[in-house]
């Protein structure tokens, strides 16, 4: 069956309509709806929160980018599993913090503290891109908790950079009962830390260390100027200080920061979650029908890499931007080599517990060397597209297929087959006009975004080079 025949058989499916998943997430008796109508969000914004590259979400002026990452992290089952296994005492908050502090010291690692990444920050492990001056600079990425857990293949621990660790540990405090406006991640030009007011005390999250802010730590903080912050409801990129009045205030941390620095209350913002939360609360708030048109909720779904979105084909576009995929496509010479590489190097199994409801990107499959059938298909799609093919991914109740150039592969064993089996649930492809090609030794990808024409992998925000 060629691509044209396949599309005739699946003409009832519109590319981008969310398919009926085998295991729908349900929260408090309410299932996520199949049909989703999303607000008009620029595709460039959605790609930014999917890839979660530092220069796109941290340096952006959009106040929803970083909160979408924090909300997606709060939904990730890794976070709720950690808190459940900590056995903290809600009646003794100081003891609970001590339990968490000991756990982070034993179970978390900073990427640059690992010998394998000590001298090559661009390979930790998301690759590099050339800047306009021809230098290779790192593609820093903000990781989801499931990615941090998968990074244990390098460290034996949950692993990430400073802002990723601060974001994760801030989420752990939220599940332990911290008020949302008392959980803030702040950053300088080169570092990010978490601030949490909990049980009347203010704590600093610095990488995998959690300490009460007093003494020399307090002196250090009040002497610094910070350049941005985010919470689960909004972010801001402008300079501010954390002086004694902020740290001693009876207000929430967010209120105190705003009043001391700018003399007003924090600006109006989207608040999706209640003060005390469980994972079901986050799922309900983000996926509930009542927030179907909420821009922050929709961005969070894409940041979570959920398939419960209107445009799942954007995960293909996000994968095409991956430096690791581009590097691999350069090394592999033919479609047969691509299939053979996946067969030899990628194990079966998603890094996400809800593997039927979420999807891995090409770079995640390459880095972690594992992926479910959909994930392996997306990697194959990406590499084939970068080599000039026009592949189609078809998901059925039985398996997943990748079709191109008159051939159709069953991803279960990567054998060529004549037809699909099972009920077709989702068909993914990109329009033929979206081309990728090799230019000299640099793989470039052109992609049309409404209102823009972007040259990916050549322009880069060089000022982010020193971010940890």
Rounded to the nearest 5°, which phi and psi values hold at 252?
A: -65, 160
pLDDT score for 36: 64
Which three-class secondary structure state does DSSP give residue 453?
strand
Residue-by-residue pLDDT tens, the chain, 468 positions: 444 444 333 333 333 333 333 333 333 333 344 446 899 999 999 999 999 999 899 988 899 999 999 999 999 999 999 999 999 999 999 999 999 999 999 999 999 888 888 776 677 899 887 777 878 778 889 999 999 999 999 999 999 999 999 999 999 999 999 999 999 999 998 899 999 999 999 999 999 999 999 999 999 999 999 999 999 999 999 999 999 999 999 999 999 999 999 999 999 999 999 999 999 999 999 999 999 999 999 999 999 999 999 999 999 999 999 999 999 999 999 999 999 999 999 999 999 999 999 999 999 999 999 999 999 999 999 999 999 999 999 999 999 999 999 999 999 999 999 999 999 999 999 976 444 433 333 333 333 333 333 333 322 222 222 222
The domain limits of the chain are 3-40+310-456, 54-262
pLDDT score for 317: 98
The DSSP annotation for 239-292 comes to -EE--HHHHH-SS-HHHHHHHHHHSSPPPP----S-SS--HHHHHHHHHSGGGT
pLDDT score for 120: 66
Rounded CA-CA distance 180/70 in Å is: 11
Closest among 436, 433, 440, 441 to 456, alpha carbons compared:
436
Distances (CA, A) of 284 to 174, 213, 272, 358: 16, 35, 10, 16
pLDDT score for 330: 96
- Taken as a whole, the chain contains a residue count of 468
pLDDT score for 399: 97
């Amino acid at each position: 069956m060629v691509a044209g025949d396949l599309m005739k058989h699946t003409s009832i499916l519109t590319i981008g309509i969310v398919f009926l998943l085998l295991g729908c997430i349900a929260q408090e008796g309410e299932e996520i709806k199949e049909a989703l109508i999303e607000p008009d969000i620029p595709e460039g914004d959605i790609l930014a929160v999917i890839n979660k590259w530092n220069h796109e979400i941290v340096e952006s002026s959009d106040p929803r980018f970083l909160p979408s990452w924090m909300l997606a992290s709060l939904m990730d089952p890794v976070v709720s599993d950690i808190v459940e296994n900590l056995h903290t005492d809600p009646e003794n908050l100081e003891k609970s913090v001590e339990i968490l502090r000991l756990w982070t010291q034993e179970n978390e690692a900073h990427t640059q503290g690992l010998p394998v990444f000590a001298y090559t920050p661009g390979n930790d492990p998301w690759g590099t891109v050339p800047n306009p001056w021809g230098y290779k600079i790192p593609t820093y990425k903000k990781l989801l908790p499931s990615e941090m857990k998968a990074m244990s293949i390098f460290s034996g621990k949950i692993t990430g950079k400073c802002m990723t660790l601060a974001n994760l540990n801030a989420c752990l405090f939220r599940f332990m009962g911290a008020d949302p406006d008392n959980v803030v991640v702040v950053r300088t030009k080169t570092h990010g830390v978490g601030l949490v007011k909990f049980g009347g005390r203010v704590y600093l999250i610095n990488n995998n260390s959690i300490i009460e802010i007093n003494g020399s730590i307090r002196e250090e903080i009040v002497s610094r100027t910070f350049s941005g912050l985010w919470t689960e409801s909004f972010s801001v990129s402008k300079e501010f200080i954390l002086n004694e009045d902020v740290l001693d205030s009876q207000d929430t941390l967010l209120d105190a920061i705003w009043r001391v620095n700018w003399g007003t209350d924090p600006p109006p913002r989207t608040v999706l979650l209640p003060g005390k939360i469980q994972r079901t609360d986050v799922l309900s708030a983000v996926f509930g029908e009542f927030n179907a048109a909420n821009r922050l909720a929709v961005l969070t779904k894409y940041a979570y890499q959920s398939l419960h979105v209107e445009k799942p084909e954007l995960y293909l576009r996000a994968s095409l931007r991956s430096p690791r995929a581009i590097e691999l496509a350069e090394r592999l010479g033919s479609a047969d080599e691509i299939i053979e590489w996946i067969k030899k190097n990628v194990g079966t199994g998603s890094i996400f517990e809800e593997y039927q409801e979420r999807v891995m990107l090409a770079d995640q499959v390459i880095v972690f060397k594992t992926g479910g059938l959909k994930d392996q298909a997306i990697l194959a799609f990406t590499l084939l597209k970068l080599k000039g093919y026009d592949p189609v991914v078809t998901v059925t109740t039985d398996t997943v297929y990748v079709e191109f150039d008159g051939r159709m592969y069953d991803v279960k064993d990567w054998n060529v087959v004549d037809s699909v089996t099972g009920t077709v649930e989702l068909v993914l492809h990109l329009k033929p006009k979206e081309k990728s090609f090799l230019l000299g030794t640099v793989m470039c990808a052109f992609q049309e975004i409404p209102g823009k024409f972007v040259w990916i992998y050549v322009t880069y925000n060089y000022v982010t080079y020193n971010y940890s």
